[in-house]
A and B are shown apart, each in its own frame.
Chain A
Amino acid sequence: MNNQNKKQASQQQRLCTPAHHVMSRRELLGVTAASGLLGFGGLGGLVQPLVADELSQSDKQVLFIWIDGGMSQLESWDPKPNTKFGGPFRSIQTTLPGIRVSELMPKTAQIMHLLALDRGVTTVDNSHSAGVPRIQRGDPKDRGVIYPYFGSAVAKLMGQGKSSLPPYIWVKPGSGGFKYQDAGFLGPRYGALAIGDGQAPPNLLLPDTLSHDDNSARNRLRNFANQQYAAGRNPTFSEAQSFVFDSADALMSRQALFADPDPADVQLYGDNELGRDMLIGRKMLEAGVRFVKVNSYGWDTHGDNFNGHASLMPRFDQAFAAVVLDLQERGMLDKTLVIAMSEFGRTPRINGHVGRDHWPEAWSIAMTGTGIRRGVVIGETNKTGTFVENESHDIGDFFHTWFAALGVNSLETEYLNNGQPLPIAHDDCKPIKELLT
């Protein structure tokens, strides 16, 4: 696929219609039927099936916090106060000696000893349309296929675990629904089930008027229809259909996941949409969901960056610190990989709208949890924060690192796409050993 086609494919994935965002149980089932038209058949293998069996037994999970639009590294993880491009804010000491972060994240400063931070990130794209998918797919070498987002990759490589819940849930503001686009060549089964605005997918819960017996009768009819549908087709279709139905069925039995939050939790996480979604994310992890992406929008601060970050950052700070500490207190941090990142950082240069533009040259990614060394800061930008000094890391390096943290050997594990073996992360990149335990 040439670059133009890749760009078009990328745009098609982003330009979804409202119909894509509404999911009912019936529609959820319909996805698998549609998947046949979308090229689902023959997909989804691994070169080493035994590896997949082993990984499926793992209890490791992922919380992927996506700060959409581009958090400013200078107003967060890599402050350069009192320098040419440093901005108005002070830096504050963290719990790590000699390590300072922006004054806008005082709560995170108090858990810095739990985190690993890379301040030497250099990536390729400086546009959202290219950057968002490229970063979340790990920017692999172009092999003529659309790679899966990290969540879909983990869903494929590690399965749904023992929870039987959907393996990839995306908690986000706005609309919910089934986002098959994330899965790329893996096929819709590995797409994201999006929880929009904290609401359960429509029609998820059984109506009161439907008795247990009637529901069982309906399921017998459904199974009969499934068998008829599967006859003469690639068995992958019916397997996918059953998988999606069972996932919906499992969610139906977890009504508590969508109950009103405990006021104490709201106070802890923040009474705003990120606090709400981070709390839902924690509940999903607690319920056993393999991969949870929590999304925050509104960070593309080309204008009024500093007043913007003055209110954005404290709300991120509260929700992020809360979930890390909450996972730790619940004994879940040791098995959960937590990542906080954007598609790029923001320019050191301050424009006339007192904003910062897109800057992939030198930014930061924070992480903690399973497999990640705690209390470590690597990577370094120069005095004014414009470029990375010494070794920089690209997103491919992080994909290798995160797979390693999850127990997936990214140097040996490969997807099998219609007989075509494909590396699961960029083959010229490698795990960042300093970030791994």
Chain B
Amino acid sequence: MPLTFDTTETINPASQRLSAQFSPCGQYLVAGGLDGLLHRWLLSDEECEGLPDIKGHHGWVEALGFHPTETIVYSGDSWGELSCHDYADENPAAVWSIESAHDGWLRAVAVGADGSWLASCGKDHSVQCRKTKNGKIMQRLVGHETDVYSLIIHPENQSLVSGDAHGQVIVWNRKKGSVERRFDASELFLQHRLQDVGGVKCMAFSPDAKTLFVGGTRPKGGGNVQGVPLIVGFDWYSGKEVFKRELGIVSDVYVHEIQFHSNGFLMAVTSGNPGTGQLLFIDTNAVLGEGEAEKTEYPYRNNTMSNCHSISLHPDGEQFAVTTTSKGSNGNGRRLDKDGNYVGNHSPIYLMRPSNSTDKEL
């Protein structure tokens, strides 16, 4: 029986968001965006109550990570600043902030399971480990030769893994501060004319922690980037590629985020040409032959949402939040509203949960 989900709430922030994530306590939703602000909502069964923004960042806030047991969010911005705030405070001031944690765009934050350390990565090709208590640097890991886009920590042995703009995945030996091994996901990268296209956009471990999945695109060209959304899976122990799945056509472009749902399926969101977006549930245990992927019916596929940039699973393992971009977001030349103002886009965030009945769709 196919899966179905209901949208329980649609949140409409006034400005564009890149990523909305549930806090580990499940009571808050925090979203970074293109305006240097962190939006917050307090969740209840009745409503999502908007809370005052967390300020202090510049540029874009894309990187978010949470302390596993405290109400602390670690956020990084495109100017390289890394900050720590108590997201449950009514008007939170920074617990600590490091203005130039990275030289330029800070892309991702990951927090260790015990909450004592975090890792960040970015434009300066480095991965850094810091104490969550005060932000003090513990290690600066060097081994990538380009921008580092994504981070993940192995759920069992706490190995730190990073993926970069050229499709290289590094498993770090944190004790030695060196590269332990590499996975080659260079299918996710293309040098097209002057442009580096693609990269490892996201990563996820299988529930049994034996397979590392990486997502991005199989790029076809730069400029107006086109490519087929692609997920590749590597056996964690042998490094052997054990899974590969294309998730659409060239205009669907990027897998932006992947995460396993408690039902065992891999959730993936894609964003391509303006207006295109997918939320997919993937059976990673299904063995498919050559060319079978496009004929495969997904356990769940929703392509009614426009440009899906992130997905976050609620700690209850059932609900999730999908961050999208408003429809009709593109267009050449001037487009003014009825008052003559130049208008931007916004980012509807859909809160979804499994349907009680099978005939309900978004």
Chain A residues packing against B (C-beta within 8 Å)? 69, 81-82, 84-90, 103, 126-127, 173, 272-274, 296-304, 307-308, 310-312, 315-316, 347-355, 357-361, 384, 386-387
Nearest CB on B from A147, distance (A): 23
B219 closest partner in A (C-beta):
A304
B62 closest partner in A (C-beta):
A88
**Roughly how many angstroms separate A69 CA and B222 CA in the complex, as a whole number?**
11
A83 closest partner in B (C-beta):
B35
| B93 touches A (CB below 8 Å) | no
Contact A359 B253 (CB under 8 A): no
Contact A298 B271 (CB under 8 A): no
**Roughly how many angstroms separate A386 CA and B333 CA in the complex, as a whole number?**
11
| B343 touches A (CB below 8 Å) | yes
Nearest CB on A from B229, distance (A): 13
B residues near A348, Cβ cutoff 8 Å: 342, 344
B308 closest partner in A (C-beta):
A352
Contact A359 B333 (CB under 8 A): yes
A residues near B222, Cβ cutoff 8 Å: 298, 308, 312
Contact B194 A352 (CB under 8 A): no
Contact of A302 (CB < 8 Å), options: B224, B326, B335: B224
- Between A and B, how many residue pairs show CB distances below 8 Å? 155
- Cβ contacts B240-282/A at 8 Å (1 or 0 each): 0000000000000110000000000000000111110100000
B residues near A358, Cβ cutoff 8 Å: 332-333
A residues near B158, Cβ cutoff 8 Å: none
Chain B interface SS verdict (over half): loop
**Roughly how many angstroms separate A301 CA and B194 CA in the complex, as a whole number?**
12
| B36 touches A (CB below 8 Å) | yes
Contact of A360 (CB < 8 Å), options: B60, B225, B333, B342: B333
**Roughly how many angstroms separate A355 CA and B344 CA in the complex, as a whole number?**
13
| B66 touches A (CB below 8 Å) | no
Q: Which of B222, B273, B306 has the most CB of A within 10 A?
A: B222
A residues near B164, Cβ cutoff 8 Å: none
| B334 touches A (CB below 8 Å) | yes
Contact of B197 (CB < 8 Å), options: A302, A304, A315, A384: A304
Contact B342 A351 (CB under 8 A): no
Contact A296 B194 (CB under 8 A): yes
Besides A82-B36, A126-B333, A352-B307, 6 other A-B contacts (C-beta < 8 A): A88-B105, A273-B193, A299-B223, A311-B194, A351-B329, A353-B224
A residues near B194, Cβ cutoff 8 Å: 272-274, 296, 298, 311-312, 315-316
Contact B34 A303 (CB under 8 A): no
Nearest CB on B from A318, distance (A): 10
15 contacts between A and B (CB under 8 A): A81-B58, A89-B59, A89-B78, A89-B104, A103-B104, A296-B194, A298-B221, A298-B222, A312-B222, A351-B330, A353-B271, A354-B309, A357-B331, A357-B332, A360-B333
**Roughly how many angstroms separate A348 CA and B60 CA in the complex, as a whole number?**
15
**Roughly how many angstroms separate A173 CA and B193 CA in the complex, as a whole number?**
9
Chain B residues packing against A (C-beta within 8 Å)? 15-16, 34-36, 58-60, 78-79, 104-105, 123, 147, 165, 192-197, 199, 221-226, 253-254, 271-275, 277, 306-307, 309, 324-326, 329-335, 342-345
Contact of B330 (CB < 8 Å), options: A87, A315, A353: A353
A residues near B274, Cβ cutoff 8 Å: 302, 351-353, 355
**Roughly how many angstroms separate A351 CA and B333 CA in the complex, as a whole number?**
13
B residues near A84, Cβ cutoff 8 Å: 15, 34-35, 344
A residues near B104, Cβ cutoff 8 Å: 89-90, 103
Contact A351 B345 (CB under 8 A): yes
A residues near B192, Cβ cutoff 8 Å: 298
Nearest CB on B from A389, distance (A): 13
State whether A312 and B224 are in contact (beta carbons under 8 Å apart), knowing that A350-B345, A352-B345 are contacts in the complex: no
**Roughly how many angstroms separate A412 CA and B344 CA in the complex, as a whole number?**
45
A residues near B342, Cβ cutoff 8 Å: 348-349, 384, 386-387
**Roughly how many angstroms separate A231 CA and B334 CA in the complex, as a whole number?**
57
Nearest CB on B from A24, distance (A): 27
Contact B331 A82 (CB under 8 A): no
B277 closest partner in A (C-beta):
A352
Nearest CB on A from B61, distance (A): 10
Q: Top 6 closest A-B pairs, CB basis?
A: A352-B307, A88-B78, A352-B325, A351-B330, A358-B332, A302-B224
**Roughly how many angstroms separate A296 CA and B334 CA in the complex, as a whole number?**
26
**Roughly how many angstroms separate A126 CA and B333 CA in the complex, as a whole number?**
6
A residues near B253, Cβ cutoff 8 Å: 303-304, 353
Q: Which of B35, B123, B307, B334 has the most CB of A within 10 A?
A: B334
